[in-house]
Structure 1
Amino acid sequence: MGSDAPAVPCPLTDEQQHTWRNFVYATRLVEDYLDRCFQRQAGVPHLYYGLLALLSEAPQRRMRMSELARRAKITRPRLSHAVTRLEKSGWARREACPGDRRGQEAVLTDSGREMVARAAPGHVAAVRRAVFDSLTPEQAGQLSSICRAIEEGLDREGADVPWLR
């Protein structure tokens, strides 16, 4: 092997393996719970509500599709599919980017803004139930610090997969 060979990572300790599995299981439970809540409440996955919420916070309630995909941490094809569904519901529409014929923006419609406003209290209740009701205030602070550290660690690397380079 030459010097370009990737370093072999050392295995996880038993405690790290246990922590990793707990993290994965807990995040999947939270995602599943929120999805089920939104399917019952609005007939859409939680991801779609998240996209509408991002648009509701954007200037003029619009965002370039590539930026929306980046912020939502999803692929452009998945975003395109989601926006198509949101368009069919009348909650969003696509428009050409000013000055860029190839680019598109997702725009939150008035109906979409109303949906976000109607769904927000249920979203808050579901998040409280899924996460915060089980934690002490100290644990919530620790969780915030841990998530921020993970986010910053991945952002520094651009979320690349180092062993595939």
Structure 2
Amino acid sequence: MPDQSARPTREELHAWRTFLRAHAKITRALEAELVAEQRLSLGGYDVLVQLAEAPDRKLRMAELADAVLLSRSGVTRLVDRLERVGLVSRERVAGDGRGVVATLTPEGLDTLRTAARTHLAGVSRHFVAKFDTDELNDMGTLCTKLID
């Protein structure tokens, strides 16, 4: 394991920069496909997924921001846009004067189901197809280390 107090070596920086470039390339491609085919951003898709997977298809705004890795103000702007087109609604939390939850609407769920076909096909094409099963398992293990 590399010394954590030392500067990264040329090879270590290469691995880091390659990881960043690969992530950026794949997310740009997935974003472009979602926007072109579904008129939905990758961030908007992520919000719809998080809400679909949440109990009662709703989350407090702070929980949603944490789930999609956006700032609270960023998720507020994104939810504003999704609310304007009827995919998400906002409601006050009973008994909590400042609490607000975002809720997936039936239209949002329908949009998510349609957009998932585009997104998952892109994930398969731009990511899964590049690796064999063992490599994908290794990738999952390595990325879990980054998360933990």
Relative to the length of structure 1, the TM-score reads: 0.85
Identity %: 30
Moved >4 Å (runs of 4+): none
Q: Report how far residue 57 of structure 1 moved.
A: 1.0
The corresponding residue for 1:22 is: 18
The corresponding residue for 2:102 is: 106
Greater RCO, CA 8 A, separation 6+: 2
1:85 aligns with 2:81: yes
Gaps of at least 5 residues in structure 1 are 1-7, 153-165
Q: Report how far residue 44 of structure 1 moved.
A: 2.1
**Matching residue within 95, 101, 106 for 2:91:** 95
1:12 aligns with 2:5: no
- For 1:98 and 1:73, the matched residues in 2 are separated by 26
- For 2:118 and 2:73, the matched residues in 1 are separated by 28
The corresponding residue for 1:120 is: 116
How far does the alpha carbon of each residue in 1:2-42 deviate from its partner, in whole angstroms, 9 at most, with x for none?
A: xxxxxx94211111011011001000001101110111122
How far does the alpha carbon of each residue in 1:60-116 deviate from its partner, in whole angstroms, 9 at most, with x for none?
A: 111110001011111001000000000111000110112211011000000001001
RMSD: 1.2
The one-letter amino acid paired with 2:118 is G
The corresponding residue for 1:43 is: 39
The one-letter amino acid paired with 1:117 is R
Q: Report how far residue 133 of structure 1 moved.
A: 0.5
Gaps of at least 5 residues in structure 2 are none
1:104 match: secondary structure = strand
**Matching residue within 62, 68, 74 for 2:70:** 74
- For 2:88 and 2:135, the matched residues in 1 are separated by 37
Report which stretch shifted further, 120-129 or 102-111.
Answer: 120-129
The corresponding residue for 2:58 is: 62
The one-letter amino acid paired with 1:120 is A
- For 2:50 and 2:117, the matched residues in 1 are separated by 16
- Aligned residue pairs: how many? 145
**Higher Cα Rg, which structure:** 1
